[in-house]
């Protein structure tokens, strides 16, 4: 019996040591779970705050871009003036000759812009309008300047302001023009001969305020930003001097100084006007907030599950401890005569305690869970395969015989308003008779639309787009030509690649995404055609799409072109 007591004592010590280790492991697991949960919560909130900050930065960048877009709206006349020979122009003005044809052409073009009402000129010796003949007005009808006996006050103020500014800057100024805005009334240009540090003359462009507010800002605010629920901000064009709202992208919300969270000023122009902004939750922020809430909900569920699991494990451990203690007490009181049968009973109890799940009902439950989850996984995989199939370009096309001339004319008629608004007059060259080609109508409209859009986008100042149709005995060729920026030689082999855009200072201001020509190439190939480009850098480009003439039987010729595409033929 002494041996048995020592054995039980040693077992008790081991059990206490085991229980201590188990408590330590339990505490470490609990600390680990809470630490990981805290880190995840912090990361989620940091990500949400980063999304808010990024959205705000993007919105502020949009506002800054819009301010510079507004400034660029006034640039056209100035860009023409700074190219003039100021030395020659200075000599002509000194000689009393105000009929420089290049200057007259630039000013006539500026007056054709509804942004400007009138243009006035003053000689370098201008002091004020008191003599009644110090200011000349430009007449676009005969391209001449005429003395005006009643120069408007805004012209005199603008020229005087510019004259005062140039007194300070002239000696150190190294450019041949200086633009000074008199708030929203006039845009004034000091013409300078930098070699002699001499003023050639002053031009005052009277700004059409009604057009600027109603036809430019009111339209551009909605086009650039859209309503509040899309852009996530309410924008007011505000005259802070008169405390007057001139235009807004959302008329439902009245202006209040307390709502203003950000002010965007215009660079070097429209001093009394600025953009007052109130930030709202834009779609990106709302999506981030929804994602944060979902993640917090899932994390809370996982935390409850883990803590519950630890609690259950603790209860089971406590029961095991109680059982072990009862076993130890029982063994301490047992007699030598019952040692053998009790040992058998103890072995049976330990086998039951260490058993595995063998119940058929529980096994069936586990099987049903596995089957249900496998079906769900299969549906998810099928959806992903459908998305991949669509992204791979396996589209349905329905080729039918069409006269491309009719399709081109129909496209031009439907989009003439867009051409007109963009300042384009498309040049068409379509023969009277054209052979038919086998093409999907929707695909052709997409091809033509992308090519024309690219030509307009990169036409520069030329505003020239030509659409031609040619044919021979075997093919019909569609050509879209522009006289714009052109494509550098190294970039031509990549322009049909997905997401590729030409990296060039001339195209940097043109927004685009690099998908249009990739879509064109894909649809061209699906319609048994080819596409090519000829381009001269900074002189223009010609895109050509060649369709084979429709000759029966056309079905057999087209079926083998693209095995990835599903093609349905009209009967």
pLDDT digits (tens, 9 = 90+) for 195-205: 878 899 999 99
pLDDT mean over 17-22: 70
How far is Cα of residue 77 from the mean position of the Cα atoms in its chain? 31
| DSSP code of residue 492 | G
Q: Which two tokens stand for residue 286?
A: 């709302």
**Would you say domain 396-567 falls under CATH 3.50.4.10?**
no
> Concatenated DSSP letters for 529-556?
-EEEEEEETTTEEEEEEEEEB--S--HH
* Coil/strand/helix, residue 240: coil
Phi-psi region of 438 (alpha: psi -120 to 50; beta: other; left: phi over 0): beta
What is the model's pLDDT at position 361? Answer: 57
Q: What is the pLDDT of residues 528-554, one digit of tens each?
A: 899 888 888 888 889 999 999 987 654
**Residue 322: exposure state from Cβ atoms within 10 A (0-12, 13-18, ≥19):** exposed
* 326: pLDDT strictly greater than 60: no
Q: Which two tokens stand for residue 361?
A: 């009902």
Confidence bin at 352 (pLDDT 50/70/90):
very low
Sequence spans of domains, the chain: 75-207, 211-280, 396-567
Neighbouring C-alpha atoms within 13 Å toward the C-beta of 243:
2
Q: Give the pTM.
A: 0.46
**Residue 359: exposure state from Cβ atoms within 10 A (0-12, 13-18, ≥19):** exposed
What is the model's pLDDT at position 367? Answer: 45
Q: What is the pLDDT of residues 517-527, one digit of tens each?
A: 777 888 888 88
Stronger pLDDT, 221 or 571, i.e. the higher one: 221
What is the model's pLDDT at position 468? Answer: 92
Are 495 and 518 in contact by the 8 Å Cβ rule? The answer is no
């Amino acid at each position: 019996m002494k041996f048995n007591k020592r054995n039980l004592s040693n077992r008790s010590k081991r059990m206490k040591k085991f229980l201590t280790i188990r408590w330590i492991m339990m505490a470490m697991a609990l600390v680990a779970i809470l630490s990981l949960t805290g880190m995840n919560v912090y990361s989620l909130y940091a990500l949400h705050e980063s999304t808010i900050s990024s959205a705000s930065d993007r919105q502020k960048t949009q506002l800054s871009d819009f301010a510079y877009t507004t400034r660029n709206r006034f640039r056209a006349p100035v860009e023409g003036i700074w190219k003039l020979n100021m030395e020659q122009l200075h000599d002509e003005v000194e000689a009393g000759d105000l009929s420089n044809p290049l200057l007259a052409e630039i000013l006539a073009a500026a007056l054709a812009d509804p942004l400007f009402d009138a243009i006035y000129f003053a000689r370098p010796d201008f002091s004020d309008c008191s003599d009644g003949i110090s200011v000349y007005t430009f007449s676009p009808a005969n391209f001449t300047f005429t003395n005006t006996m009643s120069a408007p006050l805004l012209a005199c103020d603008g020229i005087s302001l510019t004259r005062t500014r140039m007194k300070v800057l002239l000696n150190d100024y190294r450019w041949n023009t200086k633009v000074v805005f008199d708030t929203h009334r006039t845009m004034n240009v000091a013409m300078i001969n930098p070699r002699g540090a001499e003023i050639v003359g002053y031009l005052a462009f009277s700004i059409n305020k009604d057009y600027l507010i109603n036809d430019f800002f009111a339209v551009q605010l909605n086009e650039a930003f859209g309503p509040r629920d899309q852009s996530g901000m309410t924008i007011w064009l505000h005259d802070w001097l008169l405390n007057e709202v001139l235009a807004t992208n959302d008329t439902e919300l009245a202006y209040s100084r307390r709502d203003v969270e950000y002010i965007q000023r215009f660079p070097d122009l429209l001093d009394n006007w600025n953009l007052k902004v109130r930030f709202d939750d834009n779609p990106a922020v709302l999506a981030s907030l929804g994602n944060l809430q979902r993640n917090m909900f899932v994390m809370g569920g996982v935390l409850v599950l883990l803590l519950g699991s630890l609690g259950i494990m603790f209860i089971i451990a406590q029961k095991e401890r109680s059982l072990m203690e009862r076993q130890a007490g029982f063994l301490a009181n047992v007699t030598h005569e019952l040692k053998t049968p009790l040992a058998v009973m103890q072995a049976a109890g330990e086998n039951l305690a260490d058993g595995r799940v063998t119940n058929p009902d529980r096994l069936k439950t586990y099987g049903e869970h596995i089957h249900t989850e496998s079906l769900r996984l299969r549906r998810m995989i099928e959806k992903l395969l459908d998305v991949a199939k669509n992204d791979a370009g396996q589209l349905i096309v329905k080729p039918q015989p069409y006269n491309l001339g009719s399709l081109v004319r129909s496209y031009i008629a439907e989009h003439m308003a867009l051409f007109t608004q963009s300042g384009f007059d498309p040049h068409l060259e379509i023969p009277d008779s054209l052979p038919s080609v086998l093409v999907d109508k929707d695909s052709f409209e997409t091809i033509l639309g992308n090519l024309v859009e690219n030509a307009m986008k990169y036409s520069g100042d030329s505003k020239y787009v030509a659409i031609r149709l040619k044919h021979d005995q075997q093919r019909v060729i569609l050509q879209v030509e522009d006289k714009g920026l052109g494509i550098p030689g190294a970039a031509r082999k990549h322009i049909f690649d997905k997401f590729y855009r030409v990296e060039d200072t001339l195209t940097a201001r043109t927004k685009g995404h690099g998908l249009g020509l990739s879509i064109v190439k894909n649809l061209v190939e699906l319609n048994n055609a080819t596409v090519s480009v000829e381009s001269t850098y900074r002189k223009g480009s010609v895109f050509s799409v060649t369709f084979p003439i429709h000759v029966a039987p056309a079905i057999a010729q087209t079926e083998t072109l693209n095995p990835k595409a599903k093609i349905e033929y009209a009967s």
